Amino acid sequence: MKNKTFGSALLVAGTTIGAGMLAMPLTSAEMGFTYTLALLFALWILLSYSALLFVEVYQKAERKDAGIATLAEQYFGMTGRVLATLSLVIFMYAILSAYVTGGGSLLAGILPFLGDNATPISIVLFTVVLGIFIVISTGAVDGLTRLLFIIKLVAFVLVLGMMLPLVKSDNLMAMPLKDFLIISASPVFFTSFGFHVIIPSINSYLDGDIRRLRIAIITGTAIPLVAYILWQMATHGVFPQSQFVQIINTDPTLNGLVNATYHATESSLISGAVRTFSTLALVTSFLGVALSLFDCLDDLLKRVNIRAGRIGLGLLTFLPPLAFALFYPDGFIAALGYAGQMFTFYGLVLPVGMAWRARKIYPDLPYRVLGGNISLFIALLLGLLIMNVPFLIQAGYLPAVVG
């Protein structure tokens, strides 16, 4: 049984470490390592805090398989349910479409013999093969995640093994090039620590055992924190800041970063290792989000008394992102631009509101997250700030960042 807690922690870590980790060094290139480290710690605390608020609220859930939208309805009625459902479902469809598109093109790169149809075939293959695990069970996803996580770890250790010896402490001392970069970078860092969609799936996988859910979340968020610190130390430490800024000016993508690391280490192994790592980051995050969407749609259909069955739910989960990736790859890009805002809403503002209400209605909650109502208030303010950062950048109040 203990094993399931460990599997859940890996599901949390696997969902968290995704595309965001690859974007982060580019976002923070101008910020210097010290400030980057401060932002990593601050957002790790904020997002673990909001995840633990969900745990607090789950103590009084009506069913152990209640989804986030069901919790929202319990505390905020139909408005809560509708807002939570919209932000969750649009967010997850958008991010899955992006993962399917990215995963498909990575796969097409290694299946060139498929000729002209390589990309669409790869997109379908990627979705169907991984989708089967979701339809089978959470246990199946747990098993696959364990395997992939080990390979991902080996690739990451290889990358670090090649980069960390080249780190120069001078490079790590760089200061921010502009004021307020730390605020501009916060939405990308915030989303990089995100995994909260998977909490309902894990709660029901752990049979509503609050203690184990808490352990899974704390362990599962500590792993990404360590990984992000090492990864940022490697990238910030290998390149002098001026060169780092040049990289993001010439090619502000993962490719640019891979090429630059390749030149710095002069080892062709590094490109392979970074690519393996980033592919697996995409796959494990895909698995976590797809499992969450599957359970979220189940929760929604139960509410309207429809029993779709696992195959039906699988089709509902995967057909829309597949269709978008195949026929309209730009379709969800617009939605993706608002992913940070949607996530700030259901991942921070909503749990703060629910915990605040739960504490009023049930003053005797056995488990309460540290920090009292003051912390709730600070978290809410930070959430509102992060939500508005893209607008503040657009309006020219904050400097722009990559990502």
Ligand X SMILES: N[C@@H](Cc1ccccc1)C(=O)O
Using CB under 6 A as the criterion, which residues of the chain lie in contact with ligand X when the complex forms?
A: 15-16, 18-21, 191-192, 194-197, 285, 289, 343
Neighbours of 258 (CB within 10 A): 19
The residue (of 145 and 171) whose beta carbon lies closer to ligand X is 145
Provide the strand spans (E) within 60-216. Answer: none
Q: Which residue has the tokens 């605020």?
A: 183
Nearest approach in angstroms of CB 344 to ligand X is 10
How far apart are CB 29 and ligand X at their closest, in Å?
18
Q: Say if residues 35 and 261 touch (Cβ distance below 8 Å).
A: no
Cα 296-297-303 angle, rounded to 5 deg: 95
Q: How far is the CB of 18 from ligand X (least distance, A)?
A: 2
| CA proximity to 127, closest of 254, 308, 300, 289 | 289
Cβ distance to ligand X smaller for residue 191 or 204: 191
Cα first-last separation, the chain:
40
Q: How far is the CB of 357 from ligand X (least distance, A)?
A: 23
Give the C-alpha separation, 204 to 199, whole Å.
Answer: 9
Nearer to ligand X, 133 or 195 (CB): 195
Least gap, CB of 72 to ligand X (angstroms) = 16
Residues 216, 8 contacting (CB under 8 angstroms): yes
Report how far apart, in Å, the C-alpha atoms of 100 and of each of 88, 131, 169, 194, 339 are: 18, 11, 39, 19, 16
d(C-alpha 137, C-alpha 381), whole Å: 38
Residue with smaller CB distance to ligand X, 324 or 343: 343
Instruction: List the structure tokens of 302.
Output: 């139960």
Distance CA 86, CA 233 (A): 37
To the nearest whole angstrom, how small is the minimum distance from the Cβ of residue 158 to ligand X?
21
Given the complex with ligand X, which of 195 and 205 has the nearer CB atom?
195
d(CA 112, CA 245): 34
- Closer Cβ to ligand X, 16 or 203, answer by number: 16
- CB nearer to ligand X: give 99 or 239: 99
Identify which of residues 94 and 124 has a Cβ nearer to ligand X in the complex: 94
Q: How far is the CB of 340 from ligand X (least distance, A)?
A: 9
Instruction: Supply the minimum distance, in Å, between the C-beta of residue 197 and ligand X.
Output: 5
